[in-house]
Amino acid sequence: MKKAFDTPWKITNRFYSSITLPYVRFLFALNNIPWGRDWRFLGIPIIQKHRLSSIKFGPGLNLRSTVRSNPLGPNHPVILSTLRAEACLEIGESFAMTGGTLCAAEMITIGNRVALGANAIIVDTDFHPLDPARRLMRPNDGETAPVIIEDEVFIGMNSLILKGVTIGQGSVIGAGSVVTHDVPKHVIVAGNPARIIRSL
């Protein structure tokens, strides 16, 4: 009772979660995303899934999609997107995310016990070609390369993880970082472009 008195916004969050959960379940079923154990949602994520792609989550999923769900104030709901046929978004157990975007044109693989801070974005595509002539002819034909996030990685708020990046187990990405190259295991990286700050 004391906890509820001290943090009343959590009661509101739980109530909102309970009334929106049936719609979230329907949304996942509509997009052919298998439902898992011990999933928690605050708000309704946005799902933009290509019919011939796949999205899979392990148990313990926790997605926060409302501005009131986190003191950092996500600026939009969680967005889960697969752009092309055969694209794959596969995520392990105990994944947590507040706002932000996961967008796969080819493949994004995320391990177990990974957390994304508010408004972090992971994409495996440039979206648009860099060459102007190609961009004019085929505007959505940007280069792609798989993204791999290993177990127990923490990605700070407002970070951007770009195509072709592997982040090693247990590493931490500082808030606001832009990650363009692989990150080894058990380090802290930060900056734009992100560089190693120190080992963990």
Residues annotated as catalytic are 128
Tokens, residue 193: 């472009």
Nearest to 148 by CA among 139, 138, 161, 159: 161
| Phi, psi for 47 (deg, rounded to 5) | -115, 125
Measure the CA–CA gap between 162 and 124, rounded to whole angstroms: 6
User: Kind of pairing, strands 101-104 and 147-149?
Assistant: unpaired
DSSP bridge pairs for 149: 110, 167
Measure the CA–CA gap between 169 and 185, rounded to whole angstroms: 5
The residue with tokens 């080992």 is: 199
